[in-house]
Amino acid sequence: FDAILSKIAEGDTGRVAMVTDGQLHLRQVVHPKSLARNLNLPDYYNSFYDLRKEFKSFYHSEEMTCIADMLNFV
């Protein structure tokens, strides 16, 4: 993933933004597993956009449970 991403970003992964459907997997799976295995994650894993949170904030809507709900809303 990192090699492909670096190629797409032309080596500047500082411009990369992760977009997630909720933050559960990053916060409860990726980060703890990387710590347990003593793996250093690239910096872009520490900053991300939670699509559900951004959607709720922008549309002042109720909590959406999936992308399909967001699409149906708009």
All structural domains of the chain with their residue ranges: 18-73
pLDDT of residue 10: 76
Distance between CA atoms of 74 and 70, rounded to whole angstroms? 7
Residue 64 CB: number of other CB atoms within 10 A?
A: 20
Helix, strand and coil content of the chain, in percent to the nearest 5, comes to 55, 10, 35
pLDDT of residue 65: 86
* Residues 34-66 pLDDT 10s: 999 999 988 888 888 999 999 999 999 888 888
pLDDT of residue 73: 93
pLDDT of residue 48: 86
Listed residue (41, 36, 28, 37) closest to 2, CA to CA: 41
